[in-house]
Amino acid sequence: MTRQLFTVLLLAAFPLQTCCFSSTSTGSSNKIPITLADEVDTAQAFALSSFPIQPDDLIQRAKQVLAPDVGIGTKDGGKCLADDFEFCAAVVGPIKKDAYLNALGTFKLEDSFDIHQNLFGFTVSPIQPNRVYWFSHANATLVADFAGAKVENVKEPLVFPPQCFHMDFDANGLVTEFGFYTVDRQYGNTGGLGGAFGFFYGVGKPLPIREAKPFKPSFKFRLIQWVGRMGEKLQKNKT
């Protein structure tokens, strides 16, 4: 398998859709919105939805749950969480309600870090209208010793990769699921790690598990890459 063929196979998994332009003039002063071939008609999707909470109200509810005095259930005793609540991240979970509250309560990140989440992009999924998505571009400064790391030894603020969060609600506005995923592991100085893992890694005290360390390609994946490079080299020699 040549390297080019391997690249083609990867791209084939994410086909590009043709854009449907309303105007052929991209420099027009009267810009007409561009509609993609597979773009969801959100207005129609929400109109057909049976979920009782409207998108704007659901976003406001998500922000209420994120407020410091609620803390996604960690500051209000879990009152905002449904009984069947689950926490689910990239490599952690699903974790049930009681285990989630106990786990987050032990970290107490706010006691050691001045954290700025820098949230933006709140939106409701037209495919899953009980789910709110948003992004975080967080940074944090160590202000008290943490996990054996001394403040004087951590000179630079922690800069996290952008992370995409989601929160699901039931018809009563209680959270049924909360989770997040890193969307650009090359950004920042936490090894591409988000959540609590990023705090530990960022201060030089990574947790001793594979999931709490930066991404490393598997042996099979490295082998495929090597075969691709060798195939490309042989092809060049033939030509």
CB of 87 closer than 8 Å to CB of 93 = yes
Task: Tell me the C-alpha distance between 82 and 63, whole Å.
Answer: 17
The CA-atom distances, in angstroms, between 82 and each of 72, 130, 148, 172, 188 are: 11, 14, 36, 9, 34
Range ranked top by mean pLDDT from 12-26, 32-46, 126-140: 126-140
Task: Tell me the C-alpha distance between 161 and 137, whole Å.
Answer: 7
Q: What is the per-residue pLDDT across 81-119, written as a single tens digit (0 to 9) for each? A: 999 999 988 877 789 999 988 876 666 788 899 999 999
Secondary structure element (H or E) that encloses residue 65, with its range = helix 55-66
Per-residue pLDDT, 28: 52
Q: Return the closest-CA partner of residue 190 out of 179, 199, 182, 181.
A: 199
Under the banding of pLDDT at 50, 70 and 90, the label for residue 27 is low
Q: Is 100 helix (H, G, I), strand (E, B) or coil?
A: helix
Neighbours of 55 (CB within 10 A): 19
Domain positions in the chain are 53-207
Per 3-state DSSP, what percentage of the chain is helix, strand, and coil (rounded to 5)? 35, 20, 45
Q: What is the per-residue pLDDT across 151-163, written as a single tens digit (0 to 9) for each? A: 999 989 999 999 9
Query: Which amino acid is residue 41, in one-letter code?
Result: D
Under the banding of pLDDT at 50, 70 and 90, the label for residue 207 is confident
Choices 3.40.50.300, 3.10.450.50, 3.40.1410.10, 2.40.420.20: CATH for 53-207: 3.10.450.50
